[in-house]
Amino acid sequence: MTTDDEQWMRAAIGEARLAEAKGEVPVGAVIVHAGEIIGRGRNLRETTQDPTAHAEMIALREAARALGSWRLTDTILYVTLEPCPMCAGALVNARVPRVVWGCDDPKAGATQTLYTIGNDARLNHRFESVPGILGGECGALLTEFFAAIRANDDSRDGR
């Protein structure tokens, strides 16, 4: 971990907070190239009713537009939650060389927890995986979000 990793993860946390403010699951991502953010994303599945509107996917699209290329070599993705299989596959396809995340995803994690898509030698590209950057803070965002939903559901049920 570097101080840059913390700095960029804080930017991803900012994106997650923006998602939460819209009632979305608080996951945020940024893509950094040459010391600048070239792609930002936050979960927007509920807002857009698009199953592919994950933070990473949105950040990848924005970064590709910024660079004028689908090949995102020389970039780093920072995301608050370990990428799922769809996002990990997109990161492989985009040739992202380094993926940094905050907290592991025990239900859908595809870079370390359930699968290791980014390190699968059968694929044509692999990426460096860096877990746990500001993991406690990233995990707390999700825990608090879902606790609030459960509390709200309990109050509606008269419990």
Q: Which residues are catalytic?
A: 56
CB 9 within 8 A of CB 102: yes
CB 135 within 8 A of CB 13: no
Using the structure block, give the residue that is written with the tokens 């592991």. 104
Closest CA to 58 of 27, 34, 103: 27
Q: Supply the DSSP string of 27-63, one letter for each residue.
A: -EEEEEETTEEEEEEE--HHHHT-TT--HHHHHHHHH
DSSP 8-state secondary structure symbol assigned to residue 129: E
CA 1 and chain centroid, separation: 17
CA atoms within a 13 Å half-sphere pointing along the CA-CB vector of 153: 6
